[in-house]
Structures are given as structure tokens and as C-alpha cells.
Amino acid sequence: MRVVLVGPPGAGKGTQAQFIASHLSIPKISTGDIFRANVSGGTELGKLAKEYMDRGDLVPDEVTVAMVRDRLSEDDAQEGFLLDGFPRNVPQAEVLKKMLAEFGTGLDVVLNLVVEDDEVVRRLAGRRTCRSCGKVWHVVFDPPTVEGVCDACGGELFQRDDDREETIRRRLEVYQEQTAPLISFYADEGILQGVDATGPVEEITQRSMSALRRFAD
Ligand code: ADP
Ligand code: ADP
């Protein structure tokens, strides 16, 4: 299946993406994770992306699209994929549509994770990420056993630079201005499914899987 996850920053896209991708046995492709790996690796792409990410702005489309094209050309993405964080504006959605058409295929479904603004801010402000394995925790909603230490690998937890208050505000504006229009774009394509993304993580995964099953055949 070819699936896209959309939703505001902090909606739980990354959290859900790992479970959904594993249920469907498809790779999870997260543009934010790829950018962050490039930032930590000190690559040219990372240096360029960091400037935009630190401000809470989108990395320019031509850079992002080239990176996604490369990733989607890899062997493991030929039978399906779950995109998390891409597309993030209508021009990216249009390029993705063309790109998939060149490969002779198209998206099956777009899941829109719906969470209200206050909850999104609570989720972002308490998010902590493992420096070693990238696993995401929350200081209140999903705390590790020992504060600041990843239960999965023993790595150090840190707060992303862009999860600080001023940047959170900017990212929410960017979401409203640029990303939210994707909802009507994909509704018009007839492939949009809204998912209530409040409540326990496992319940949201179950709701997402039921929504996907409606598009499976
Ligand atoms: P979140 O999970 O909080 O929504 P991401 O990890 O997806 O955030 O993205 C972090 C940052 O990486 C974004 O604020 C943006 O600067 C950059 N980024 C990620 N995906 C894209 C994209 N598709 N287009 C442009 N910039 C992107
Ligand atoms: P996104 O990728 O959409 O930015 P994340 O998956 O990184 O969102 O989740 C943002 C924060 O919210 C993380 O700290 C995560 O632990 C927490 N979180 C995710 N899902 C839930 C949920 N259902 N209830 C409470 N907190 C959650």
C-alpha cells in the first residue's frame, strides 16, 4: 500500500507511522528523520536544512523533493511505503503525484491525524527524542523509567531545538498556511481518511488500521 500521513506537528505522526508501517510491512519514510540524520552527520544537505528547521520553516521544495525521489527509488519502496511528513504543501503533493505516475502508480490513501491545537502544543512541548536510536518519548504522556534515558537503548534523551516555544508557534502557523490545504487537496482526490488522533496510542493505531482496510481493495 502507498500511504501518506498528514497532521499538525505533534499530532503523533512519527509515533503512529512506526506501528502502521510495521503492520503493513512497508518502509516508513520520514522526511524530518532524514533531515535530522543529515544534520547530525554534518552533510551539505544537513547544513542547508538546519537553517530552515531551526526557524520552523519548510526546507525548500526542490531540495526536499529530490531527497524523496531518491528514497522512493530504492528497492524496499517499490511495493509500498508510508510517508510521514511529506508532502507538506500542495506543490509537493502535485510533484509526488507526477512522480508516482512516472513509476506507473499512485497513492492509495492519505490518513489525516486530527488533534486539537492545545493538545498538539502539550505533545510538542514535552517531546523528548533519543540521541542514539531516535525513539520518541514524552515527559508526561510516555515517560522513560529513568528521566533523560531511553528505555529502548540506554541513549541520552534531548529536546529538539525546534520543539521550543517560539519555534512551535511558527511551525503551527506554517502548518495552517501551507500544510492544512492538503486536506481539501486529498479530499478532492477521494483518498482522504480522517482519524481521531486523541486517546491511547494503541487505539489510534487501531483506528488508522480500520481506515486503511476500507481502502485496501
Ligand atoms: P514534526 O514531526 O514535528 O511535524 P518533522 O520531523 O516532520 O516535524 O519535521 C521537522 C522539520 O523538518 C520541519 O519543521 C521542516 O523544517 C523540515 N521538513 C520535514 N519535512 C519537510 C517537507 N516535506 N518539506 C519541507 N520541510 C520539511
Ligand atoms: P509528530 O511526528 O506528528 O510530530 P510525534 O509522534 O513525534 O508527532 O509525537 C509528538 C509527542 O506526542 C511525542 O512526545 C509523543 O510521545 C507524544 N504522543 C504521541 N502520541 C500520543 C498520544 N496518543 N497521546 C499522548 N501523547 C502522544
H-type alpha helices, the chain? 13-24, 31-41, 44-55, 61-72, 90-102, 117-125, 165-174, 181-189, 201-213
CA distance readout (Å), 119 to 13, 51, 108, 110, 213:
14, 27, 29, 22, 27
Nearest residue (CA) to ligand 2, atom 4 = 10
pTM surpassing 0.75? yes
How far away, in angstroms, is 102 Cα from ligand 2 center? 34
**Choice among 55, 97, 122, 160 that is catalytic:** 160
The confidence score (pLDDT) of residue 216 equals 76
- On the question of pLDDT at 59 being above 70, the answer is yes
- How confident is residue 215, by pLDDT bands cut at 50, 70 and 90? confident
In the residue annotation, 170 being an active-site residue is answered as: no
**8 CB less than 6 Å from ligand 2?**
no
How would you classify the pairing of strands 109-114 and 2-6?
Answer: parallel
pLDDT in tens, 9-46: 999 999 999 999 999 999 999 999 999 999 999 999 99
| pLDDT more than 70, % of the chain | 100
- Active site includes 171? yes
Asked if residue 181 has a cis previous peptide bond (ω within 30° of 0), the answer is no
- CA of 13 from ligand 1 middle (Å) equals 11
The H or E element containing residue 144 is none
Give the tens place of pLDDT for each residue, 75-134. Answer: 999 999 999 999 999 999 999 999 999 989 999 999 999 999 999 999 999 999 999 988
213 has binding-site annotation:
no
In the annotation, is 55 catalytic? no
Average pLDDT over residues 201-205: 98
Which of 28, 61, 88 to probe ligand 1 with, by most ligand atoms within 8 A of CB? 88
In this prediction, residue 214 carries a pLDDT of 87
Task: State the Cα–Cα distance between residues 61 and 104, nearest whole angstrom.
Answer: 23
Average pLDDT, rounded, for the chain: 96
136 half-sphere exposure, CB direction, 13 A CA radius:
21
- Does the C-beta of 10 come closer than 6 Å to ligand 1? yes
DSSP state of 142: B
Mean pLDDT of 6-10: 97
Angle, vertex CA 58, rays to CA 124 and CA 129, nearest 5:
30
Q: How far is the CA of 191 from the centre of ligand 1 (A)?
A: 22
DSSP states of 99-127 as a string?
HHHHTT----EEEEEE--HHHHHHHHHTE
